[in-house]
Amino acid sequence: MWSRASRCSSRLTALCVRRCKKICVKPRGVASATPTSKNLRMIIFGPPGSGKGTQTEKIERDYGLISASTGNVLRQAIADGTPLGLQVKEILARGDLVSDPIMLRLVQDLVQKKFKGHDWILDGFPRTMIQAAGLDSILAQEGQPLNLALMLDVPDDIIVDRISNRWSHVPSGRVYHTSYKPPKRPGLDDETGEPLVQRDDDKAENVRARLKNYRNYTAPLLDYYRAAGILKTVSAPTSYEGYVEIRKILDTYMQALKV
């Protein structure tokens, strides 16, 4: 599956760049392994249940990066009550997916305001080649290309176990796991005491379909960032093992930025 997706990635990349020109103000920029400033600008991606959020929290804690995830960006837009946020609220209320152009507008605002002048990490974005090309375009306008893309590699069986035992507090986005991160009181959110729920797509019978869909969309991203020279693949069968590798990578990058 991976190899077939990889063979078509060059053609898909070219198509995405052409489409991105319709979405973005300027043509796509180019991610670079050579920093153009002293800031670290990175993304972390991987299959659903690979631990992106957990690793992002550790990176934020230990390295002082500012972080944002797709879910947080959408929730913040709704909370702000901006015209775009109201549009997002309507889309999600219908059960529809937020389109690439809208997501890119939200990310552009994030880059120009919250991230500007800081080390930062995007959790789970981009997910498609359209989004990757759009993000590069936004960063090119700021003269601040990506300099690191971390991909978490976790075996499918481990992911199925992680997700099928995951419970969420929908309003806040807080996630618990019955084995690794249980709530203080079974079935209830630690902060609000409200009930936790298991999403339909977190049930074991749906997880493998999600993994297949993820790989179909994400395989070209691996080739894209590998060609840019910024891809680092991290073996993460457990959160601890993954973070040991991540720290080695980030220590090297942060040291290089100080030179």
User: Is 199 part of the annotated catalytic residue set?
Assistant: yes
Query: What does the alpha-carbon distance between residue 28 and residue 141 come to, in Å, rounded to a whole number?
Result: 9
Query: What does the alpha-carbon distance between residue 259 and residue 257 come to, in Å, rounded to a whole number?
Result: 6
Q: How far is CA 119 from the centre of its chain?
A: 16
Q: Amino acid letter at 220?
A: P
Q: Of these residues, 7, 61, 185, 199, which one is catalytic?
A: 199
Residues 6+ apart with CB under 8 A from 140: 26, 27, 28, 29, 30
Q: How far is CA 57 from CA 27, 53, 102, 169, in A?
A: 32, 6, 26, 18
- In the block, residue with structure tokens 């898909």: 12
**Residue-wise DSSP of 126-191:** --SHHHHHHHHHHHHHHT----EEEEEE--HHHHHHHHHTEEEETTTTEEEETTTB--SSTTB-TT
End-to-end CA separation in angstroms for the chain: 41
User: Is 215 part of the annotated catalytic residue set?
Assistant: no
User: Is 210 part of the annotated catalytic residue set?
Assistant: yes
Q: Of these residues, 19, 127, 226, 247, which one is catalytic?
A: 127
Q: Of these residues, 28, 52, 105, 162, which one is catalytic?
A: 52
Q: Of these residues, 208, 210, 226, 247, which one is catalytic?
A: 210
Cβ atoms within 10 Å, residue 233: 15
Could you give the residue numbers annotated as active site? Answer: 52, 127, 166, 199, 210
